[in-house]
Structure 1
Amino acid sequence: MHKYSWILFPLLTAGISTTVSAQKSEIYTHDLRDYNRAIELYKDKQYLSAQIIFEEIRQQNHHQEVQADCA
């Protein structure tokens, strides 16, 4: 059993880190979905609707890049 544990541990670690990374990217993508919607509204000259969405994103989002883009 000890013979295989040194092989099994790195495989499990790699699998867990991949899962955590995928979850982070899904959350970030969800944030960008709202941002992209606001951009589309702005391009369609629906400025007030876009401004409301940008403000909501800025208040709820903790990514500095997204907050700066919404300012």
Structure 2
Amino acid sequence: MLLQIKDTGALVKIVEIQELLDPNSDVVQAKDQEGQEEQEPETFKKENLIFPSGELLPRCWLDAEYRHDNA
């Protein structure tokens, strides 16, 4: 799955989808898609990632307590 870094617009390929879906993890391993060669995985904060369409990641991927919010 490809996601985009909010600040730079660069695309990253998520290494392990389960890590992305886990709301108890605030980081994810991904490979920068810049250049021709396969890049080494780096750690990215989920809060700094969006879908390439510009949509935010679902709250249930970011916040383990999303069901308990009274707002």
Superposed pair shares fold, TM > 0.5: no
User: What's the TM-score, normalizing by structure 2?
Assistant: 0.24
User: What's the TM-score, normalizing by structure 1?
Assistant: 0.24
- Report which structure shows greater RCO (CA 8 Å, sep ≥6): 2
Give the structure with the larger strand fraction. 2
| Higher Rg of the two aligned structures | 1
Give the structure with the larger helix fraction. 1
